[in-house]
Structure 1
Amino acid sequence: MKIIKEKIDFNLSKEKFQYFLTFISEKEKNKILKYRNYEDSLRSLYGKLILKNMLKLDEIQLKYNKWGKPELINNSRIHFNISHSGEWVAVGIATKPIGIDVQKVDKIDLSIAKSFFSKDENEYILSLCQSSRKDAFFKLWTLKEAFIKAKGKGLYMPLDSFTIKILNDKPILYSDENKRCQLSVKQVEKDYFMAICILEE
C-alpha cells in the first residue's frame, strides 16, 4: 500500500493547468473541465496527476464500474482510490481493494448522525463530551466513506447498514456481510481527517 497526500495550489496559473491536462486522457479531461468551479477542477486534476506519477504512467486511462468507481484500464492487479476535500487531495494504491477519504472538519449539525449513522455510532458520539463530538463525527464519517469506497458502491450503500466502533482508538468494522478489512484514521493538520480501508479478499 502507498498513500500520497498533497495540498492544492489554488493559485496555479491557467497556463499550467492547461499543460497538466495534456497528461490526462480526453475522457478524463472532459470530466475535469465539466466542473463549474475552477477549484473543483483543480482538485480532480491533482488526484489524477498524483495517481499518474505514483504508477509512472504516460497517461491516465480509466473505466468505471456500475456504481461509478474508477478502475485502471488493462491493469486489474492495481487498486486505487482518490479523495479530496478543501485544500487536500489524497491518493492510495494497493494490491487489494482500497478506499480513502479525506474530510475537512467544518460546521455540522450533529443530529444528522441519527439519520445517517448506525444506532451504536450515534450513541458513541453522544456519549462523548460536547467538545469531542464534532471530531468524533468526522472521524467516523471518513472511516465509513473509506469502507464504502473500498467496496466500490459509493453512496449506493447506506451509511447505516454497517457500524464502525472505536475501541482503544482503533476502528473496528461490524457488518452483516462479515467483511474483514484494515481500517485506520488520522488527523491531517488541525482541521482534516483522513481514513483508509483495505478489504481482505
Structure 2
Amino acid sequence: MRIVKHKVDFNLSKEKFNYCLNYISEEEKDKILRYKKYEDSLRSLYGKLILNNMLGLNRIEFKYNKWKKPELIDNSKIHFNISHSGEWVVVGVATKPIGVDIQKIGKIDLSIAKSYFSKDENEYILSLPQSRRNDAFFMLWTLKEAFIKAKGMGLYMPLDSFTIKMLDDKPVLYSDKNEACELSVEKVEENYFMAVCVLT
C-alpha cells in the first residue's frame, strides 16, 4: 500500500494547467473542465496526476463500477482511491480495495451525528468533553467515508449501517456482515483528518 498526500498550488498558471491536461484522458479532462471553480478543477487534476506518477503511467484511463467508483482499465489487480479537501489531495494505491478520505476540520452541528452515524458512534462523541467533540466527529466521518469508498459504493451505503469504535485509540469496524478491514486515521497539520481503509 502507498499513500501520497500533496498540497495544491492554487497559483498554478492556466498555461501549466492546460499543459498538465495532456496527461489525462479526454473523458477525465472533460470532467475536470466542467467544474465551475478553478480550485476544484485543480484538486481533481492533482489527484489524477499523482496517480499517474505513482503507477508510472503516461496517461490515465478509467472505467466506472455501477456506483460510479473509478477503476483502472485493463488492470484489476491495482486498486486506488483519491480524496481532496481544502489545500490537500490524497491518493492511495493497494493490491486490495482501498478507500482514502481527507476532511478539513470546521465547525459542525453535532446533531448531524445523531442523524447519520450509528447509535454507538453518536454516544461516543457525546461521552467526550465538549472541547473534543468537534474533532471526534470529523475523525469518525473520515473513517466512515474511507470505508464506504473502499467498498466502492459511495453514499449508496448508509453511514449508520456500520459502526467504527475507537479501541485504545485504534479504529475498529463493527458490521453485521462480518466485514474485515484495516483502518487508520491521522491528523494532517492541525486542520485536517485523513483516514485510510483497506479491505482484507
User: Separation in 2 of the partners of 1:172 and 1:73?
Assistant: 32
Equivalent AA in structure 2 for residue 41 of structure 1: S
The number of aligned residues is 200
Matched, 1:7 2:7: yes
| Partner residue, 2:21 | 21
**Once the two structures are aligned, what percentage of the paired residues are identical?**
76
Moved over 6 A (4+): none
| TM-superposed deviation, 1:107 | 1.5
Q: Deviations over 1:43-100 (max 9, x none)?
A: 0000000000000001000011010100000000000000000000000000000000
Within 5 Å, give how 1:44-59 maps onto structure 2.
44-59=44-59
Equivalent AA in structure 1 for residue 95 of structure 2: T
Q: Normalised by the size of structure 2, how large is the TM-score?
A: 1.00
| TM-superposed deviation, 1:129 | 0.1
| Partner residue, 2:92 | 92
Q: Secondary structure at 1:22's aligned position in 2?
A: helix
Equivalent AA in structure 1 for residue 61 of structure 2: Q
User: Separation in 2 of the partners of 1:176 and 1:41?
Assistant: 39
Q: Secondary structure at 2:23's aligned position in 1?
A: coil
Equivalent AA in structure 1 for residue 91 of structure 2: V
Structure 2's unaligned 5+ residue stretches are: none
Q: Deviations over 1:7-57 (max 9, x none)?
A: 000000000000000000000000000100000000000000000000000
Equivalent AA in structure 1 for residue 156 of structure 2: Y
Q: Normalised by the size of structure 1, how large is the TM-score?
A: 0.99
Q: Deviations over 1:108-132 (max 9, x none)?
A: 1111000000000000000000000
Q: Deviations over 1:176-201 (max 9, x none)?
A: 1100000000000000000000001x
User: Separation in 2 of the partners of 1:127 and 1:107?
Assistant: 18
